[in-house]
Amino acid sequence: MISKKMLFTQLRRGLLSIRFAIVVVLSLFLVGFQWWTMRHTGYRIQWHEPTFLDEVLLFAPDGSGTTLYLFLFPFLAALVGGSVLAVERRSGRLLLLQARSSYGVVERTSLCSGFLLGALGGVLPYVMSLVFSAVRNPHLTFIDGVESSDMEIRSFQYILVSSESWIYPIYRLNQPLCIVVLGLLVAVISGLFTCIAVAISPFVKRGHVEVMVPVAFMLLWWMLPVYVPHLPYTEDANPILYLDVDSSRPWEAKTANLIGIAITLVALPAITAVLCWLQRRFHDR
């Protein structure tokens, strides 16, 4: 059970905050950075059928915007929604809210609003990139992702989504569906990362530190192969790699990508649940 009034208040406060304005500015920067690096940093763009996806973050095989976005999206998500519970506590409103309802209601409501705000913050650069590219180039053409066996032809072949990518069957079936599926996945993962920030905020004494927790968590996950070098394709289970759908990877990586998606969708809520359980034990004492 959640408080609808509290939910709408937190959502409105989050959307009108300076943090959301910063996320909008950073999203515009990422879109512009992707466009600029495609044209001014030495990328050799092969001829291909017109499609606006060739400039979209996560899809575009050229440009450096996607790489920067993949490292920043947990931060953008947590910046918007990761401090909703901490703001209530630091402002002194938490005691007033608890007087009207239980701490559990406040916690669940904050998790819901944090998830929604985080999902919006994390997916916003992707959506802006889609709109920007579609307005400039209103074409959506299927581009075959199967690499030619001829080395000379392959050197001039343009691959948008590799046939070895986990999302290629969806891309081949229906491109708008592929766009929606990838956007929803980014939004959900962003929201789940934000829930971790919300859940850990009661344990953090210094302000705004909770915003950096999802970033640190994903970077540690990304560096896991360094500490566990004998597990092949471990790095492909990380969102940084499986959300980069334009990259060409071995077929074994596809399985690791799908396992990584499943682990992400299960592990992040589980971590949030454990943190909430620990906080309730601490709060009830």
Query: Is the pLDDT at 149 greater than 70, yes or no?
Result: no
How does the average pLDDT of the chain come out, rounded? 85
Looking at residue 141, its pLDDT comes to 86
Confidence band for 57, pLDDT divided at 50, 70 and 90: very high
Task: For 221-267, write each residue's pLDDT tens digit.
Answer: 888 777 776 666 677 788 988 898 876 666 677 888 898 899 999 99
**In the chain, where are the structural domains located?**
4-224+232-280
**Among 66-75, 87-96, 140-149, 207-216, which range has the highest average pLDDT?**
66-75
Query: Is the pLDDT at 99 greater than 60, yes or no?
Result: no
Task: For 100-110, write each residue's pLDDT tens digit.
Answer: 677 778 888 99
How far is CA 282 from each of CA 103, 206, 255, 276, 277, rounded to the nearest angstrom? 12, 18, 40, 10, 9
pTM: 0.90
Query: Is the pLDDT at 176 greater than 60, yes or no?
Result: yes
